[in-house]
Amino acid sequence: MSGKRVLLIVTGGIAAYKALELVRRLKERGIAVRCVLTRAARELVSPLALAALSGERVHEELFSLTEEAEMGHIRLSREADLVVVAPATADILAKMANGLADDLASAILLATDKPVLVAPAMNPRMWCHPATRRNLARLVEDGVEFVGPAEGDMACGETGPGRLVEPEVLVERILARLAPEPRPLAGLRALVTSGPTYEAIDPVRFIANRSSGRQGHAIAAALARAGAQVTLVSGPVAIPDPPGVRTVHVESARDMLRACEDALPVDIAVCAAAVADWRPESPADAKLKKEEGAPPPLLRLVENPDILARLARHPTARPRLVVGFAAETGDLEAAARAKRAKKGCDWILANDVSPGSRVFGGARNRILFLAGDEPAESWPEMPKEEVARRLVARIAAALGREAP
């Protein structure tokens, strides 16, 4: 990593003290670090300590004659290989999303032509506020990469999402970002399904499930990073479209099947969506009304198409590799084996969704990986992004491409 340069922008969160540890760890790897502090961050972490650890002067002012003469904000923003914002407050996210440039940190972020990696840290309510969600979605669309926040106890006494990720997690992401990315799946096409489906009862009611789409979206993003040309067919979810992926939004299982068939031919298909097995046979055209004294309506269900099985048994355009998921509550391995055989897919990733497993909607997953008739492999619990990376490495190896 020697010769690589990081511009670290520290904004005013309590977690700013962790920037010191981050600088130390990056310097140990031979990475040159130049620090920029916002005015609020200056109250929380000493510029002198950052200067001592980084071995460079710390930059704070947008309009300083000496700084403009020595190193303007444009030069600062261009001389790094990567710009890192850690910790990133709700305020800097709002400025970035709207292109404000009223201090050195925000001016650099607007002027830079380098990749930007952001590690947010804030109170959980600020993180969940619709304004922050909007800003986040916009920044993801702009190609800004995020790491964290983690969940846990906050300095403010509350609990929830908003903690700065630990320095070692951040260092790993920075190293991965600085390393030239291998693109073992370049030239291949991939299709991923993700999220739940909505099956209409009437124009306002539907049957759905608790799938968040986080695992499927992470897989689509990881396939794209590995160089594949990815189509993501997503049911209704509350998370942003992954960068670098063509996302098709659908509601029902039948829409999802149509969008998948439209995306063929592909080399790889990963079905991570929690597709509703049944749908109301004849959804009402008008809202069903509650009539005084009348019995509740009876819903008659019919089976939905099985998208995974259709792709795996496609008569003319079967992908080279078809991967399914199995959310189970009983004997995981037996159920996964039976499901693989029944659906005709190559691999199954089974996960336990018993009450208390917190897999649905959660950030982590524990996978039992089943390839053909080989013995099942138990993967330790890990973030869904890591499951995605592992799966992509397996896909690359199976298709005779070098692992990413």
User: Residue 17: left if φ>0, alpha if ψ -120 to 50, beta else—which one?
Assistant: alpha
CB 389 to ligand C5P: min, Å = 19
Q: Which residues contact 319 (CB under 8 A, 6 or more apart)?
A: 191, 264, 265, 266, 267, 268, 269, 311
DSSP state of 383: E
Q: Which residue in this structure is represented by tokens 């993700």? A: 194
Closer to ligand C5P by CB, 10 or 273: give it. 273
The three-class DSSP label of residue 117 is: strand
Closer to ligand C5P by CB, 87 or 213: give it. 213
Instruction: Quickly list H helices, 191-306.
Output: 214-225, 253-263
Interface residues toward ligand C5P, by CB under 6 A: 193, 253, 271-273, 275, 277, 304, 306-308, 324-326, 339
Closer to ligand C5P by CB, 20 or 311: give it. 311
CA distances from 214 to 195, 203, 238, 306, 359 (A): 8, 27, 9, 21, 10
Among residues 264, 370, 276, which one has the least CA distance to residue 312? 264
Closer to ligand C5P by CB, 180 or 330: give it. 330
Closer to ligand C5P by CB, 103 or 328: give it. 328
CB 204 to ligand C5P: min, Å = 24
CB 241 to ligand C5P: min, Å = 19
Biggest distance spanned by C-alpha atoms of the chain: 82
Residue type, 242: P
79 touches 110 (CB < 8 A): no
CB 348 to ligand C5P: min, Å = 8
CB 341 to ligand C5P: min, Å = 12
| Catalytic positions | 156
* Paired tokens of 318: 């079967």
